[in-house]
Structure 1
Amino acid sequence: MKKKGDYLLKIFDIGISLTTEKDPNKLLEMILKESREITHADAGTLYIRKNDKLHFKIIQNQTLNIFQGENGESIDLPPLNIEGDSVSAYVARTKKTLNISNIYEESDSYLEGPKKYDKMTGYKTESMLVIPLIDREYVVIGVMLLINAKTPEGKIVPFLKYYERVIAYYASQVAMYISNMNYLEEIHALFNSFVEVMVKAIDKRTRYNANHTKNIVVFLQKFLPYINNITHGELASQYFNRDRTEEIVMAAWLHDIGKLAIPLNIMDKPTRLAEKYEVVIKRIHLEKLQVKIYMLEGKINNEEYRSRTDFLDEVEKIIEICNSPNKYIDDELLKKLENLYKYEPIGDEKRLLLDDEYEYIIVRRGTLTDKERKIMQDHVIFTKEMLNRIPFTEKLKHVNMWASMHHEFLDGSGYPEGVDIKSIPFEVRILTMLDIFEALVSADRPYKKPMERKEAIGVLKSMAKDGKLDKTLVLEFEKSEVWMLEVGDQKSDVGSYEGRGEL
């Protein structure tokens, strides 16, 4: 038998583990194991209280060779009702320790459960030490059940009073740890809820962003395990453990939070003229009517009438064509739009195409002007500013940087900082690639048709060849076939990518 001092040293060691072990599942498993060793118990169960029920967290039985709950695995047993007739529920209700020498010499109803268990399994339960885990607010947050103290010769004996006091002290430390763990879980859940609300706010704010963030997270969560299984090549050294995975996934969820600060008329701009299209067409129609009136009144001759009418008919069609986000404005169209801009109406209108409308319609590709594109690109700056206000924990300290860099390219041509390959972390390279891919194949973008997925992979490879994306990463993404996943409301329709200078 070990000396009492040896047990105290073990408890001190366990106390150190309570502050250093990061994995709560490993720690709870160790807590029950060490408690059994201190008391020479053959078996034990650790319950965690949630919503007035005692949930099985760890089960250990040396004789039956049963060890459940290791590494956080769930135990397929129904939780015990606090108001139920079980010994653990009784201890949870009364907040009193039970030290029972032999359950078969007792007639309490709450001991019927262990007796039935013995009949089912052939196990023989005799002595029990059941201790409530009480936090600093005197709330029971769990129960530790120890079964069958044994001598070195294997004889079952009652639990010594000394062990009762030692484990009671130990249990108070464990209760404090579990309480802190629950508190951290509540904070974590609260923060995750906040993130979920913010993401939904972005996605609900505009139908054109409805699935973007969610889809990126789905691609990411499927791609990371693939990276972890790479055993050779440049990516063999990259491994995403639980913490690193949580951090990059959080960055993915928050990467577009800055879009909350972008005006909807820019973020939702489906065409070059947007709501001004009808205004321009109405001016052209009024000018046609005015031209006809001038002709009927003899203010212009038939030749001028036909010339103006033909011109107005043509530019009306041109405006309709050029307003489409998928139409590239070549030099020929640009010249015709310039002629419309310079056209001098004979009616009351000073111009058929105002300065801002002309600026909108002559955008070569996409729907946004340079000024609007800059505003749209500023969403990453707003992302950084907003995330700077969040006191991220040490485990999430890179979230802001990774989220706000997802438009940077390896050749330095990205934004907002224009940093190059030396300053772009591996995590950012993944997010950038997935952000571009999702934007290419997305069916909810106002300024383009969804691209066929194989074609989108081709775009990524082309960008990698140009030095903008990580070539090895793009090739592994293609090999992973994660890009073939059907997520959100995406379609696989063939469409040309015209873009608008922003992904």
Structure 2
Amino acid sequence: MAHLRKGWPLQSIFAAVIVVTTLLLSTVLITRAYLDQRELLLEAAESSSRQLASRLDSVNLSLLAPVENSLKILVHDTLLQADTLDERLQRLPLLVQVLESNPVTSAVYTGYPDRDFVLLREIQAGIATKRLNAPPGAAWMVQSIDHQPEGSVERLWLFYSKDLALLESREVPDYLFDPTSRPWFQQAQNKDAPRLTPPYVFFTTREVGVTLSHESPSTGAVVGIDASVQEISHQLRDLQTDTAHEMVVVDRFGTVVAWPQLDQMLIAEGQQIRLASLGELGVPALEKLMSVSRPDGKMVRFDERGETWFGLRQPLLTLQGESLQLLVTVPEHDLLAGINDRRVNYVYWALSVTLLALLLGTWVAYRMTRPLGHLSQWVAELARFDFSREGIKRTGIREVNELNRVLGGMANAIRHFKAISYTLAREQALDRMLPAVAEHLKASVGAEQSMIYLLDPDRNELKLASARTQEWKTALPASIQCESTDPKLIQAQLEAALPKGKEHWLVTALEGRESLPSGFMVLGMGNGNGKVRQTLVSFVNELSGSAATAIETRRLIEAQKRLLDAIVRLLADAIDAKSPHTSGHCERVPELAQMVLDAACNSREGEFAGFSMSDDQRYEFYLAAWLHDCGKITTPEYVLDKGTKLETLYDRIHEIRTRFEVLWRDAEIRYLKGLLEQGDGAVLRERLIADQERLQADFALVAKLNQGTESVSDEDVKALEQIAGYTWLRHFDKRQGVSDKELERMPPERDNLPVTEPLLADRPEHRVPWNGRRPPVEPHDPNNEWGFDMALPEYQENHGELYNLTQRYGTLTPEERFSINNHIVQTIRMLTSLPFPRHLQRVPEIAGNHHERVDGEGYPRRLNAGELSVPERIMALADVFEALTAADRPYKKAKTLSESLRILAFMARDGHLDPAVFKLFLDSEAYLAYAHRYLTPEQIDPVDKRQLWQLVRSG
């Protein structure tokens, strides 16, 4: 029922009737024309085949008639009465004349009743070379068999030049030939007219031909002439215009007499050559035609191997009683190809006429229904939320024009409302979102002006955020200090501040989830009537909720971003504040890294020619740079600030110095006791001075090694071991007053006090085990889910005095160096535990990979260059350069600009840093901008960039 109520378009009804009528008429006419042309084409094919047969008959007559005339002359020549070879050779000129006057003749010969035989043949180059072995220059050949009176037989081959000069006479004993046994001889006997043999293959020339022979009535000798019928095959080949047509001439037994492909007619059987049969040609259609048709020249239709064929058998003129037939066959699709093409053309013409009739017949209906159709389609598109189409042009129908105007207004409003929704949902920045919303709102309601005021709740102030009419930007107040916190009073104050009175303006509060509105939307409406204004108020109020929510969301996102930035900076500042000797590192590295990153984005050549980063990626890099050392919050402060080898929470050099003081006083006590025992005072005094000088020298060595500014030699180690052999007496229990954990590491006292102890020692309590707190950094650790690949020391800490003092370089032990390197492990673990949003997912990677090396020998995961992104490689360089130039490290002095860059060049050459990033660092002179801001004037010295880059390339 719904379909019936909907009905059919008038234009479609007209079109359907015209198309169906035209197509039916065209179908009848095309079918009739096709059948008529098919009959005409078949009749033409039959006629063409008859003409071909007639032409072949003419060819046969033209070929054999001259030969027959020559034969009738020769039968009366003296050649047939000659008894000797000499007499026969005298007639050579006549025989040459016969061969030259008939192009189809290949040989002329005479057979005698006494079995003598003489033959003249024109020598062709191929035959002479392959079969006859004729001498050079030979043009004619005589084959002779001459029976001598005494009973011998002379068999000769005579070769003559073109002018009949004898070139060679060759005896051929094996040339056994009896002319009286040949068919041409026997057929001519007792006949008063020439006789023609059936076609056969000439043995010598391999040509297909016939032999005409005639008996002399007086001597009984028979003269014969071989005539080739291959001209018929040539005619077939010339007449075969299409490879799909198959034509052949056969005799009554199906033996092939003529075929366009001459080489396929001959079948070799050992030394014999014969004519092929029809089945041996490999054309099943011809063989099928021979069995299904009659030699009456009528076209027949048959199927062969899934294909339809047309063919006919046309008889040829009888050659002296030998009946020949012409077989012609062609595939149906090839024979009827022309009319099939014409049928397609007829269809095209019929469709063209149908289309023309359709156009002409529906023109009136089209003119009447087109506007309604367009409006209907427009409404359908609007229902599918497609607002890209415009309305129709003005027509002569008033109702249609009015409907077009109403729909246009509705589509415009919906289109702009859709754009407003899209902007509110997608645009992140308020400074771009608010102008777009104001512009679309202005266009959707037909306002003259539109603007948005945002409310700053902290200052209780309205600020103009967007004005979409240029002339009003100077007339509107840029800000309004609110006198109250009541939204209604604030709105009233805004309306009062607007020019031309409030009746011209439509002001709507942007009320969202918060108690105070986000701002106010202001529309300049002109002098519209009250009903229209009330409708707009309802529409704008509905829109204001979405706008207010979007504004609140943007403000919340910006506030969260500011909070995140503040927390990140707070964490970085806390890390720097934890160690006063590294303060500013977490602030300087991000700024330096940002300089190099900007240079990479601005580069137009080399590896960074196509490098760029979006705003989200830049912010991701910014956070990663600030957080790159957040794991240092877990590193003990005394390790970060360790300035000497014995320093922990305090410098234990003071403890060792106290032991030296004890040994000093022990030396004095020994001296005083010696005096009391009335020893030699001078000797004792000299010994005391020597002991004290030795103690001073030994402590000086310990103090020097404790500073760690020089490498420790083997001699220093031996001297330190000797000093460690000094002993002193301990009178107090060292287990008293210590923590429980240290007490667990101490062995029990084995001797009664006082106890003799070495001056320097590595005691068990100095070695702090991991006790189940081994960090998961080893590759085989099942808890290592981050892919760390680091060597873990045996102990967590080792405070052994000899162990620390004998460290070859610097002040750190392997345990302390791991503790420092472990900060990057903790950085990755801390950052990967945070729920970063999708656009910040790579913060842990960028922050945690700045100690990796491009040669894969870095830590904590031994990543290589292919696994490190450009931002990660930039972070690595920035971290090293800041550390080299920093003046706040307790364990080193700040290096100059040239020294720092030279070290970076070596590191780039040796696979520590990326050479491409280092070259970018040099070319952009980011190092110089950083130096002017953070380095002392004494550190900024000249830099030879070319020499530095040559140093990198030398590796």
Tell me, yes or no, whether TM beats 0.5: yes
* Letter of the 1:4 counterpart: M
Q: May I ask how many residue pairs the two structures share in their alignment?
A: 456
* Cα distance in 2 for residues equivalent to 1:194 and 1:479: 35
* Cα distance in 2 for residues equivalent to 1:385 and 1:238: 29
* Cα distance in 2 for residues equivalent to 1:494 and 1:336: 39
Q: Which moved more, 1:483-492 or 1:37-46?
A: 483-492
The RMSD of aligned alpha carbons is: 3.2
Alignment of 1:48-197 (within 5 A): 48-51=454-457, 52-63=460-471, 79-83=479-483, 92-94=487-489, 113-115=497-499, 127-147=504-524, 160-197=533-570
* Mapped contact 1:42–1:147 kept (Cα < 8 A): yes
Q: CA deviation at 1:109?
A: 7.7
Match of 1:121 in 2: none
Alignment of 1:133-282 (within 5 A): 133-147=510-524, 160-274=533-647, 275-282=651-658
Match of 1:327 in 2: 710
1:463 paired with 2:907, answer yes
1:375 paired with 2:819, answer yes
Q: CA deviation at 1:148?
A: 5.3
Q: Name the structure, 1 or 2, with higher relative contact order (CA <8 Å, separation 6+).
A: 1
Match of 2:921 among 477, 495, 503: 477
* Cα distance in 1 for residues equivalent to 2:483 and 2:495: 15
The secondary structure found in structure 2 opposite 1:48 is strand
* Mapped contact 2:482–2:493 kept (Cα < 8 A): no
* Cα distance in 2 for residues equivalent to 1:337 and 1:225: 53
* Cα distance in 2 for residues equivalent to 1:215 and 1:416: 23
The alpha-carbon distance between structure 1 residues 306 and 111, as it changes in their structure 2 partners (threshold 3 A), is closer
Alignment of 1:397-476 (within 5 A): 397-476=841-920
Q: CA deviation at 1:94?
A: 4.8
The alpha-carbon distance between structure 1 residues 20 and 403, as it changes in their structure 2 partners (threshold 3 A), is same
Structure 1 portions without partners, runs of 5+ = 68-74, 97-107, 119-123, 150-155, 496-503
The alpha-carbon distance between structure 1 residues 423 and 131, as it changes in their structure 2 partners (threshold 3 A), is same
Q: CA deviation at 1:362?
A: 1.8
Q: Which moved more, 1:479-488 or 1:396-405?
A: 479-488
Match of 2:435 among 29, 35, 41: 29
The alpha-carbon distance between structure 1 residues 486 and 409, as it changes in their structure 2 partners (threshold 3 A), is same
The secondary structure found in structure 2 opposite 1:350 is strand
Q: CA deviation at 1:49?
A: 1.8
The alpha-carbon distance between structure 1 residues 177 and 227, as it changes in their structure 2 partners (threshold 3 A), is same
* Cα distance in 2 for residues equivalent to 1:379 and 1:408: 13
Q: CA deviation at 1:135?
A: 0.3
* Mapped contact 2:416–2:443 kept (Cα < 8 A): no
* Mapped contact 1:262–1:379 kept (Cα < 8 A): yes
* Cα distance in 2 for residues equivalent to 1:332 and 1:32: 84
The alpha-carbon distance between structure 1 residues 34 and 362, as it changes in their structure 2 partners (threshold 3 A), is same
* Cα distance in 2 for residues equivalent to 1:376 and 1:476: 30
* Letter of the 1:191 counterpart: L
Q: Which moved more, 1:50-59 or 1:230-239?
A: 50-59
Match of 2:447 among 31, 41, 59: 41
* Cα distance in 2 for residues equivalent to 1:372 and 1:29: 58
Q: CA deviation at 1:431?
A: 1.2
* Mapped contact 2:572–2:627 kept (Cα < 8 A): yes
Match of 1:290 in 2: 666
* Cα distance in 2 for residues equivalent to 1:256 and 1:417: 16
* Cα distance in 2 for residues equivalent to 1:55 and 1:221: 34
Q: CA deviation at 1:301?
A: 6.9
Q: Residue by residue, what CA displacement relative to the aligned partner does 1:107-136 show, whole Å, maximum 9, x if unpaired?
A: x98666444xx9xxxxx9993222211103
Match of 1:388 among 806, 822, 832: 832
* Letter of the 1:419 counterpart: L
* Mapped contact 1:273–1:323 kept (Cα < 8 A): yes
Match of 1:315 in 2: 698
The secondary structure found in structure 2 opposite 1:140 is coil
Match of 1:351 among 755, 758, 761: 758
* Cα distance in 2 for residues equivalent to 1:78 and 1:206: 48
The secondary structure found in structure 2 opposite 1:83 is coil
* Letter of the 1:243 counterpart: D
The secondary structure found in structure 1 opposite 2:545 is helix
Q: CA deviation at 1:234?
A: 0.8
Q: CA deviation at 1:34?
A: 0.9
* Mapped contact 2:581–2:890 kept (Cα < 8 A): yes
Percent identity between the two aligned chains: 25
* Cα distance in 1 for residues equivalent to 2:709 and 2:887: 14
* Letter of the 2:424 counterpart: L
* Cα distance in 1 for residues equivalent to 2:925 and 2:661: 53
* Letter of the 1:359 counterpart: Y
* Mapped contact 2:908–2:914 kept (Cα < 8 A): yes
* Cα distance in 2 for residues equivalent to 1:58 and 1:477: 43
The alpha-carbon distance between structure 1 residues 42 and 249, as it changes in their structure 2 partners (threshold 3 A), is same
* Mapped contact 2:904–2:918 kept (Cα < 8 A): yes
Q: Which moved more, 1:52-61 or 1:408-417?
A: 52-61
* Cα distance in 2 for residues equivalent to 1:110 and 1:54: 8
Match of 1:500 in 2: none
Q: CA deviation at 1:357?
A: 1.4
The alpha-carbon distance between structure 1 residues 111 and 46, as it changes in their structure 2 partners (threshold 3 A), is closer
Q: Which moved more, 1:140-149 or 1:454-463?
A: 140-149
Alignment of 1:484-503 (within 5 A): 484=928, 485-486=930-931, 491=936
Output the TM-score relative to the length of structure 2: 0.44
* Mapped contact 2:660–2:699 kept (Cα < 8 A): yes
Bigger fraction of residues in strand: 2
* Letter of the 1:56 counterpart: L
The secondary structure found in structure 2 opposite 1:32 is helix
Q: Residue by residue, what CA displacement relative to the aligned partner does 1:228-264 show, whole Å, maximum 9, x if unpaired?
A: 2211111122223321121111111111111111112
* Mapped contact 1:41–1:148 kept (Cα < 8 A): yes
* Mapped contact 1:252–1:403 kept (Cα < 8 A): yes
Q: Residue by residue, what CA displacement relative to the aligned partner does 1:426-475 show, whole Å, maximum 9, x if unpaired?
A: 21111111111111111111211111122111111111111111111112
The alpha-carbon distance between structure 1 residues 493 and 312, as it changes in their structure 2 partners (threshold 3 A), is farther
Q: CA deviation at 1:142?
A: 1.4
* Cα distance in 1 for residues equivalent to 2:562 and 2:437: 25
The secondary structure found in structure 2 opposite 1:297 is helix
Q: Residue by residue, what CA displacement relative to the aligned partner does 1:378-399 show, whole Å, maximum 9, x if unpaired?
A: 1111112222332112222111
Match of 2:415 among 9, 15, 18: 9
* Letter of the 2:886 counterpart: S
* Cα distance in 1 for residues equivalent to 2:684 and 2:454: 94
The secondary structure found in structure 1 opposite 2:509 is strand
Structure 2 portions without partners, runs of 5+ = 1-404, 731-755, 763-799, 941-955
Match of 2:719 in 1: 336
The alpha-carbon distance between structure 1 residues 146 and 265, as it changes in their structure 2 partners (threshold 3 A), is same
The secondary structure found in structure 1 opposite 2:468 is strand
The alpha-carbon distance between structure 1 residues 469 and 160, as it changes in their structure 2 partners (threshold 3 A), is same
Q: Residue by residue, what CA displacement relative to the aligned partner does 1:129-180 show, whole Å, maximum 9, x if unpaired?
A: 222111034530111223355xxxxxx8677443333332222211111111
* Mapped contact 2:851–2:858 kept (Cα < 8 A): yes
